[in-house]
Chains A and B, each alone.
Chain A
Amino acid sequence: MREKLSALMDGELDVADIDGLLAEMKRDVSLNENWYDWHQLSDSMQEHPLLSPQFMERFSARLAAEPTVVAPQRLKRSSVMKKLLIPLTAAASIAFVGVAAWQTQTSFSVAPAMVAVQSVKSVDQKTPAVRAYLAAHSQESGNVLAERDIVYADFGMENLR
């Protein structure tokens, strides 16, 4: 089965075998995990950038909001300029993806400051519940000695937009 899975990944599996393999993957959890692990390995080896989880959602929403231009203005530029514009637009879209990826990297280094500012409200009311979750979490992670962290846990709540 593993050889077939590997062949499917490389696009070398016979069409006739694909349905059978897909059915087997639905049945066998470990095959499914292999599939994801191998893809993850190949992605990381080829250094494919990862986008933020909601990237497609936000992108689709913004695309839908763009007005449709029925009659675009004619470019009053020389043909040399036109040739230059094609790689430029390609570069711009690369730069756009770059910005998107870069923003997700920084967004979580900005967020903590916001939390710190907003955590003042209703901390006392919330902490007992948070401590219970924290205690359950650290116990399952094996660190039973972390009680002191739980006692001093001081999570604030940052409201969603």
Chain B
Amino acid sequence: MSDLLSRLKPLVLCISLFLPVGAWAAAELNNADAVIVLNRMSAAAKQNDFQGLFTHQHGDSTETFRIVHVGSESLEIERRESLDGPRREYYRKGDQVSVYLPSKRAVSLDRRFSSKLFPQHLPENADFVLLNYRLKKGGMERVAGLNAQIYELEPRDIFRFPLRLWMHTDSGLILKSERLGPYAQPVELFVFSALALGKVDRALLNPVNPLRPVVIESNQGAVSEPVEPAWAIGHLPRGFRFMKSIQRTLVGKEMPVVQHLYSDGLVTVSVFLEPAVAEAKEGASHQGAMHMQVRQINGKMVTVLGEVPAETVKAFAFAFQPR
């Protein structure tokens, strides 16, 4: 018997290597509790009055923004301005958005995405998010001098990246948000460096740059089927839903490009469909968590872009077949 055991020992060792190891020791919340936590975070970002400074770190760039938000009145008002880099400003009153951007390109926004900026970047539909992610509760940490509870949205499969959130224990506001990338290392970070909750000075809401209004598309968020006569769409990575299709002209392109937008509740993936371009090569590339896959087939080209793993953009690219 001991002989048999010693024979099996390497095998047991070998199998145990494949057992999942919890690198981030945290308790998983059940579905009902997870919905409550996520809804608390998104409600706090809408309903609170606050002003503060937050830093956005992405790739090699670090930028600081000032944010002033009024949510306690009937109409939500919000102003953001960049404090370094090119001047940018964003002003939102209810559903009306105006911006100041260095480039003169036309900007239009979808109503569903017009208020998705930090710390309000959690979706309204917690159930849809929880189909694709588990919510785990971690330890406590201090952010901007405030006590925060750490949570992690951990993907249920290989098609997405984790997102860590630091929630202010008193107000429920997200104080810090960290997206992890391919090496499970942080690739994008939003973090408050100063935050004052409660009534804000109304003068801080006045724009400092000449703003121009942004066209808001009145798409109410109805999930529809993609209509694409030139392409057959096969199996897409699980958990992604078609959001909308836009025809647009991109800089440096003569032909209009069709852009499909898919979402898993937390991140969006864009699929660009167009005629093949002679100089464009097939391949995969990435920067931080943003992955891209280009595929040319039968005189047509698919370009997929999103803050999702290489596996996901590849699966998207190979799901599109010219008819």
Contact = CB atoms under 8 A, between A and B. Distances in A.
Contacts of A158: 283-285
Interface stretch (A1-9, A12-20, A59-67, A90-98): A90-98
B323 interface: no
Contacts, number: 174
Contact of A156 (B15, B59, B285, B309): B285
A84 B4 contact: yes
A149 B113 contact: no
Contacts of A148: 61, 63, 82, 85-86, 88
Tell me the interface secondary structure of chain B in the complex. Answer: mixed
B286 A115 contact: yes
B292 A147 contact: no
Interface residues of B, number: 84
Tell me the interface secondary structure of chain A in the complex. Answer: helix
B311 A136 contact: no
B59 A140 contact: no
A146 B200 CA distance: 26
B131 A154 contact: no
Interface string B177-198: 0000011100000000000000
Interface in B78-122: 80, 82, 85-86, 88, 90, 99, 101-103, 105, 107-110, 112-117
A133 B303 contact: yes
Interface string B289-323: 01010100000000101100111001100100000
A142 interface: yes
Contacts of A133: 250, 270, 272, 292, 303, 305
A157 to B, nearest CB: 5
A136 B250 contact: yes
B270 A36 contact: no
B18 A40 contact: no
A1 to B, nearest CB: 18
Contacts of A88: 11
Interface stretch (B138-146, B167-175, B237-245): B237-245
Q: How large is the interface on A (under 10, 10 to 19, 20 to 34, 35 or more residues)?
A: 35 or more
B199 interface: no
Nearest to B316: A53
Interface string A114-138: 0100010000011011111111110
A50 B17 CA distance: 18
A78 interface: no
B281 A136 contact: no
Contact of A33 (B15, B241, B305): B241
Interface of B: 4, 7, 11, 14-15, 17-18, 58-61, 63, 65, 80, 82, 85-86, 88, 90, 99, 101-103, 105, 107-110, 112-117, 131-132, 156-158, 182-184, 214, 223-225, 237-239, 241, 246, 248, 250-253, 257, 259, 261, 268, 270, 272, 277, 279-287, 290, 292, 294, 303, 305-306, 309-311, 314-315, 318
Given A132-B251, A155-B285, 19 more contacts: A29-B224, A33-B223, A40-B131, A53-B318, A95-B11, A98-B17, A111-B284, A115-B285, A125-B279, A130-B285, A132-B252, A134-B290, A134-B305, A136-B270, A136-B272, A137-B268, A140-B113, A144-B90, A148-B61
